[in-house]
Amino acid sequence: MSVSDYTTTVSWFSLCCARKVDAHSLLLCDHRVHELTVSADHCEEIATIRRKIQRIGIKHVLFLDETHKREGDVESYTIVLPGESSFIQSANTSTYAARFDMIACVSGTTTLPHMIYSPQERGKGITREMLIDYIRNLLAQAAGALDIFPLHLYIDKARIHLDIEEIKQTFNDWGCQELVKVHLLPSASAKRVSPLDNALFNLWRQRVLSTDSLTLFNIKHRMSRYWNSIIKKEIQSQFRHCGLMRGKDVYFDCPDPVGHAHG
């Protein structure tokens, strides 16, 4: 973030605090700050990705990303009837609560096999080696079984994703010759382009937390169960929301259409 961007951000938050607005309004202000700092070039990068995916079709596209849940997580809000408890007691509210990480992948029509790592397995975080093992042992064969050619994989610029040639070669060597290219998404674009980062992970989190709090005994089962329960209609809804379906305006979410003057 540049000095001017930082100043703008501070000004917005100062204004919100001075007027004692609620948390929702504060988030709206933060979103507006983000919109004001999106450049025309950034919008063009996103539009280029959308055009390509619209042209080749969503069934030829894979998105891969990582997410996590913690033991003791509960819903951030609940709707209750009079007389009912307005909260769920968390079993572990510590910031050091056991964290379970998941690597997941989705095509334009289905979720693919995922991998969940316990705190002992993940150590200090998911590594490049863990990602390659996941592709080798699970994902490559599942992607190959789709029997769709060609396939394109889209991933963000996380450190463990940067060796795109190794990722592609692992797919090709372990059961998925159909994968022809791995694409790195532009920085700060996942929320606008990736169906995983944008909404599917959020849908999954809501379902994982839909009953009682997570414990060491149920967390892996619920993470896996609710990822596998996502259906084709929900997947395609989020591809459409990200502007990846044919017929969708690739500039639909441009924050400054007049100023950017996209052709």
Averaged pLDDT of the chain: 81
Same domain, 7 and 93: no
Q: At what angle are helices 23-36 and 3-18 packed, to 10 degrees?
A: 160
Q: Is the domain of 100 the same as that of 15?
A: no
61 with 18, same domain: the answer is no
- Asked if residue 63 and residue 175 are part of one domain, the reply reads yes
How does pLDDT run across 59-74, given as a tens digit for each residue? 999 999 999 988 766 5
Answer yes or no: do 155 and 28 share one domain. no
pLDDT of 224 over the 90 cut: yes
Q: How many domains does the chain have?
A: 2
| pTM, rounded to two decimals | 0.78
Same domain, 23 and 46: no
- The lowest-confidence range among 76-80, 116-120, 169-173, 226-230 is 76-80
Q: What is the CATH number of the domain that holds 168?
A: 3.30.420.10
pLDDT at residue 194, rounded to an integer:
96
Biggest CA pair distance of the chain: 60
Provide the strand spans (E) within the chain.
61-70, 99-107, 115-117, 151-155, 179-184
My answer on whether 18 and 84 are in the same domain is no
> pLDDT value at position 90?
41
Range of the domain at 72: 40-260
Q: Of 247 and 124, which is predicted with more confidence? A: 247
pLDDT of 197 strictly over 80: yes
The span from the CA of 193 to the CA of 47, in Å, is 9
Whether residues 8 and 106 share a domain: the answer is: no
23 shares its domain with 111: no
Q: Are residues 142 and 198 in the same domain?
A: yes
The verdict on 119 and 188 lying in the same domain is yes
Answer yes or no: do 60 and 126 share one domain. Answer: yes
Tokens 């809000």 appear where? 77
Over residues 7-31, the pLDDT tens digits come to 433 333 343 444 333 433 333 334 4
